[in-house]
Chains A and B, each alone.
Chain A
Amino acid sequence: MSRRHRTTTQPPWPVAVPAVLALLFLGLPLLALLIRAPWGQLLSVLTSPTSLDALRLSIITATAATVLSVIVGVPLAWLLARAIFPGRRFARALVTVPLVLPPVVGGIALLLAFGRRGIVGQYLDQWFGITLPFTTAGVVIAEAFVAMPFLIITVEGALRGLDGRFEDAAATLGASRLTVFRRITLPLIAPSLVAGAVLTFARALGEFGATITFAGNLPGVTQTLPLAVYIGLEGDPSEAIALSLVLLAFSIAVLVLLRDRWLRTGTPA
């Protein structure tokens, strides 16, 4: 990202007024959250069993969803970026669908696929006795479904931007394709891989719609932070606000991580 300064003139009011309104619109809700936060009892609210459960569960599931996304997403990104196969354009389109699909719809689709009566889920149940809905594993599945595209798209972009001649050079030095990938490709795209993983983690952490639809809202099992916030709002608003602050802190941390470290120095343009 370039940081060129352009000579700016005084903005005309038809631009300035809506622009300031937009900024207020985006900023005020966050400000409200900070103003109304139960600062005095923050610690006690956050250390309540419900909060701790939700916090622990969120971190575990979001981490698992990120790891899952890296394990299967990086190879898919590589295929999309490098391989020529029939239906590649379709595959790429498919990857972007969860980005724009309402998460609730994603949750229903997951139920129809992996639910007890789902087209795959019924066999998982019959043959292996595996049930995904309303389990912690189900939360991971829901989060990965919604968040994995962030990883795939980031890594695919990095692979496309990578100068393939480095890999050619490694091949002429006698490196097998696997060695080339491990010692050249992967290190060169590492910044983007980390950025993609951070984005995926952030998205998984905030996942609500697909999770509540597919995995339900069982405290300690499937009730992640966003779900606890939603439920808390009906019972104990101060808990909802406190947990929201935690999610906000995570979001800001992600922004800082990406801005200061990876996005600027790492990702190839």
Chain B
Amino acid sequence: MNSNALRFNACIERAEFSLEASLTVEPGEIVAVIGPNGAGKSTLLRSISGLVPLTNGSIEIGGVTVDDPARGILSAPEARRVGVVFQDYLLFPHMSVADNIAFGPRAAGVGRRHARELAADWITRLSLTGLADRKPSELSGGQSQRVALARALACDPAVLLLDEPLAALDAGTRIDVRAELREHLASIGIPTLLVTHDPLDALVLAERIVVLEQGRITQEGLALDVARRPATTYVARLLGLNLLPGQADDGHVTLTAGGELHTAQRNVSGAVLVAVRPDAISIHTSPPSGSARNVWRGTVEGVEPIGDRVRVTAAGPPTVMADVTAASVIELQLERGTQVWLSTKATELEVYPAGGTAPQ
């Protein structure tokens, strides 16, 4: 445990919404909070930055308690050492890049000249050389993001918060900027919490993932574990996985929604989740004769192109998503209502105990 960690252990009650979570981010650690819209991600960030007060619990930043209603502590945003990279960046439109970055130091009472030197330093560190006198409206999305990062870091914060840092970018520049951001974040050395609804952002940028749904943490773990073993259908769907709850007994899983599956894992029993990738499920229009252990009948409910594949949703039980090639959609004449056989190998199924978070 480090006294410079970000510690959030609190509850926020709103009219139609409550957020209750416990979360610690160590210095140098990058944690991504993912969750659907309205899950409370922004509220979490706003409460840490001091824009939303807690109902109860406490927040500790850099060894200082900044919010604790029971002890009557509530620091104003400007009194907290929090750097925030906002969604849309919110660069001050009437100030140059240099003035934006120097704003924090100036507000902290640093002299004009020294603040400009600090800004110049950050401009170099974040490869913004030559852009010092530009206005935010003259910057590209990636440049804006680096200015926002520089502006947040120039205040020497004890924790860095990023709210959907890539959401404002178009798909093309996103990949590059994501890689850049990863590089910059790696060297910061303070607790870094980023909020996103894009699983790829979370997987690329963060070591640890926290899944927030309806104001509660539903899963927490290393990025790879969460990706491989999602705990809720939300995460599974987000990652493009089929997630089927059921009861396991000696390599045989009776699914809660109906149907059963054979798995290669005999060592798990009781309530389990079965995860299977959509491309591990095959579709046939006649009973398959292959080696697949699991075969069941289904009705095509939806056919939708995703990249170079086509995602077919078939009602079972079990109801699953299967990815096939466009050629096989034509060959098998798949459309809504088509009766099909679905199959998957026992070895393609990942079975793990349900409930609780993935092991760390």
- Contact A179 B107, beta carbon cutoff 8 Å: yes
| Chain A residue at minimum C-beta to C-beta distance from B157 | A172
- Contact B78 A171, beta carbon cutoff 8 Å: yes
- Contact A183 B84, beta carbon cutoff 8 Å: no
| Chain A residue at minimum C-beta to C-beta distance from B81 | A174
- Contact A174 B86, beta carbon cutoff 8 Å: no
| Chain B residue at minimum C-beta to C-beta distance from A188 | B94
A236 within 8 A of B: no
Give the shortest distance, in Å, between A141 (CB) and chain B (any CB): 35
Chain A residues in 8 Å Cβ range of B76: 171
A108 to B50, CA, bound (A): 51
Q: How many A residues touch the partner, as a band?
A: 10 to 19
A173/B104 contact (C-beta < 8 A), A184-B92, A188-B93 known: yes
Per-residue CB contact flags for chain B residues 60-80 toward chain A (1 = under 8 Å, else 0) read 000000000000000011111
B245 within 8 A of A: no
A170, A171, A173: most-surrounded residue (chain B CB, <10 A): A173
Interface hit among A8-16, A43-51, A117-125, A161-169: A161-169
A41 within 8 A of B: no
A175 within 8 A of B: yes
A166 to B93, CA, bound (A): 9
B108 within 8 A of A: yes
| Chain B residue at minimum C-beta to C-beta distance from A179 | B107
| Chain A residue at minimum C-beta to C-beta distance from B103 | A173
A176/B78 contact (C-beta < 8 A), A168-B51, A169-B84, A170-B103 known: yes
- Contact A173 B151, beta carbon cutoff 8 Å: yes
A170, A176, A187: most-surrounded residue (chain B CB, <10 A): A170
| Chain A residue at minimum C-beta to C-beta distance from B77 | A171
- Contact B50 A172, beta carbon cutoff 8 Å: yes
Kindly list the 5 A-B residue pairs having the minimum CB-CB distance in the complex, ordered from nearest: A175-B107, A173-B104, A171-B77, A169-B90, A174-B107
Q: Can you show 12 pairs from A to B with CB atoms below 8 A apart? A: A166-B92, A169-B86, A171-B50, A171-B51, A172-B50, A172-B84, A173-B152, A174-B78, A175-B103, A184-B92, A187-B94, A190-B94
